[in-house]
Chain A
């Protein structure tokens, strides 16, 4: 029986539910010292002096470093030339959270005391806290290498003035995609141990080989003596692919002190130090006709990069503009983008990275067109969808060639769960009765680019390559170990990859282990991000398993004196097709695969071992249709999500329980962005939401239950047919929620409301309407 599509319980769980998981902070080797950071309290300031003498005098303090102590080290990797992020900044602090000193002590609390004892003398400089301030004439500048604060500008790819002039109708929309903090419940943690035999770094990280390669290059040491281990990782959401400065500082300090150095970020540090996500502003123009048919679209994206542009962060608007047309056949699309620096925390990947911004924009545009024409939003979607037989579909962007999907099919499936006419009737009845809460119904037909990616795609973000590694190694007893470079942090990869391998190998799921996260053990690897683990890494496991199985069949045929083509495997027994009595168990085939005297002529011992660097020819394009029903309290402005209907098309499902978990988690973060979360700065650049008291990460009472459905179109770029699902929910949910909120308020003339749709914002709208 195939395990693909089976609800199999996770192999990961027994450790994690008993407290036997191993996260970096759980490690405390002999002699371990503790690092703490001193961070700028100023958004922008000249650093006049950093006095570490008091810190140094505390008993147990081993080091107190400022910029001068690391003068021989490069800047943080993944910086842009001339705008480098120093590991410790020496001359100027450019955001609240910029590291100005680090201390190391023999125990955790002494390190914290020492950090407190460092005295920094700042001379404040004028700061730019927002895109508006950064782009104003005569704005204060952050990096002298720039003229102003724009790092990169791409003008509209096409002039669409003729199309807009000729169009029956046009409309415009300005959108803010609110800055979010990723907030994995485990912050950044690193333990570096630099001994005579080399450097070992344990890090809460999504891509250990990527980090290993980078650390070795950073220190000019050899990769063979540099080992990175990502053990259990407490969530990543894109933020743990960034090269946090603390990783390199801990390693440098371990070298200097000849002892292990551990750094565990506090949550309050994490809120300003771990790179943020989203932080875009959009100006959108759309041309359409009276039937709601869209004729042309112009999108201008302004990306806030924070104080130091990061190579991944620079790519966010590229992805947003590539995916700007969403599920729709729009004859003319012109895009433009700009990357801008501000005196805020740097911005890079956060679950969805550039694609939630695109789906939010285009799905708001669809509802705007519906509102302008009076055509129902469902009809506007159906009028403009790329048809199910329209694939492959070349978009306006050379990056995005949609390979599969059935957008109308997903929307129809959604409408099987949602009683739309009844909801519309309820909405009208409630509107007429001022004692009732308002009702809003919002849809999103979303699509994303995932499964990163074809050759060249991840290289553009500084990775070694875009393949993923898989090694399948049968043990002498017929059990198997799978090694994957797609290091997980909650996805359940150990389970899904064992399911894939079990199917191909005919070895019991319980006798397959999956190992990951250690560069000394895994041949090579890229990592887990961009919803690629199953679509690329899982496909690699399938390819490698198939190779091993073919060789095992050869050995079995030899032992059974049969021809290879007649050999089948069932219940871990190889037998001749139609003759189950003539059989040899997997364990014997495995055992003999190591014994030269037992092997067919020409076969080497140890051949049941295959390593694959799996490539894929294209990205993947998960899609779906969501519906959100909200109730809004007319007195308080509070939004409550009454129903959330989710139809996903992630291609082949390996494990429905895990797919549901990924969708729920992504949707939760999407709802959070739409209703609750906003990393805010005051006018001067001081963060206003730098603790979990001020930044609202939703808890169980703040989120709804979900109704899930599914459609399946296969991914043609791998043989599994799987597309990836890690980011889907965060792409699909925000527009559904905001479309619902706007729908509930549209009778008051509301055409748009920026995220997060807080009670304050809605209350003012409702009050204004009285």
Chain B
């Protein structure tokens, strides 16, 4: 009785150092692949117009909005989510610790995307000034903090280990 043809395709992505291979509809967005197939729900969805950045992850080390990428486009690539930063044994990355120390989060919904965007920023520019931090976060919306504490969180991380390691 189906009126819509659905066929699937296999997508294999290395997520946080672990291979995830699943059959998905070609239209599946990377963010949904991460949340629903890989069951990593740290990456959030906050909009449908690629404005909010809640879905930000690293693809081969570069920040990307995972709602603007099809899962098939990530096939064969390395993706890092908020679950993949930190030292792997429960310790926080400098960016995560900076958010905690400087109260860079309230409800926490934007936070995983922010942390990934900040991690990418510090990888590229280990000592950003306030202006550079604000500009780099232009694509990430936070409704709770007013951003100043996020700026401080990045500055904290910059002086306490930088971007840190990730999987």
Contacts and interface: CB of A to CB of B under 8 A. Distances in A.
Contacts of B49: 267-268, 691-693
A185 interface: yes
A692 B52 contact: yes
A54 interface: yes
B143 A699 contact: no
Given A17-B105, A18-B83, A697-B143, A185 B110 contact: yes
B141 to A, nearest CB: 5
A117 B2 CA distance: 13
A757 B12 CA distance: 49
Interface stretch (A7-15, A129-137, A329-337, A508-516): A7-15
Nearest to B51: A692
B146 interface: yes
Interface in A650-682: 657-658, 660-661, 664-665, 667-669
Interface stretch (A157-165, A227-235, A289-297, A437-445): A227-235
B148 A490 contact: no
B65 interface: no
B127 interface: no
A60 B145 CA distance: 41
Nearest to B101: A9
B56 interface: no
A21 B113 CA distance: 13
B146 A703 contact: yes
A665 B4 contact: no
A9 B105 CA distance: 11
Contacts of B115: 17
Contact of A109 (B25, B111, B137): B25
Contacts of B6: 59
Contacts, number: 192
Interface stretch (A22-30, A307-315, A540-548): A22-30
B42 A57 contact: no
Contacts of B1: 57-59
Contact of B4 (A17, A59, A234, A664): A59
Given A665-B144, A705-B148, A234 B25 contact: no
Nearest to B135: A701
A490 B139 contact: no
A233 B101 CA distance: 21
Given A700-B150, A705-B148, A184 B106 contact: no
Interface in B13-63: 25, 27-28, 32, 35-36, 40-49, 51-52, 54
Contacts of B133: 700
Contacts of B92: 14, 17-18
Contacts of A20: 42
Interface in B123-153: 130, 133-135, 137-151
Contacts of B43: 19
A109 B6 CA distance: 11
Contact of B143 (A15, A237, A661, A693): A237
A19 B147 contact: no
B161 interface: no
Nearest to A182: B143
B160 to A, nearest CB: 14
Interface string A258-298: 00000010111000000000000000000000000000000
A752 interface: no
Nearest to B5: A59
Given A59-B2, A699-B139, A18 B103 contact: no
A492 interface: yes
Nearest to B153: A17
B47 A58 contact: no
B106 A700 contact: no
Given A19-B42, A185-B107, A700-B137, A668 B146 contact: yes
A234 B47 contact: no
A108 interface: yes
B82 to A, nearest CB: 4
A664 B145 contact: yes
B109 A185 contact: yes
A235 B109 CA distance: 8
Nearest to A17: B96
A352 B28 CA distance: 40
29 contacts: A9-B100, A14-B92, A14-B100, A17-B105, A19-B43, A21-B109, A23-B41, A28-B36, A59-B6, A184-B109, A185-B107, A185-B141, A186-B46, A234-B46, A267-B52, A268-B49, A490-B107, A657-B103, A660-B103, A661-B103, A661-B106, A691-B51, A692-B47, A692-B51, A693-B51, A699-B139, A700-B133, A700-B138, A701-B137
Given A185-B52, A186-B109, 11 more contacts: A18-B42, A18-B86, A19-B40, A21-B42, A59-B4, A184-B109, A234-B108, A237-B143, A699-B137, A699-B139, A701-B137
**Which 4 pairs between the two chains have the least Cβ-Cβ distance?**
A19-B42, A234-B109, A16-B108, A490-B107
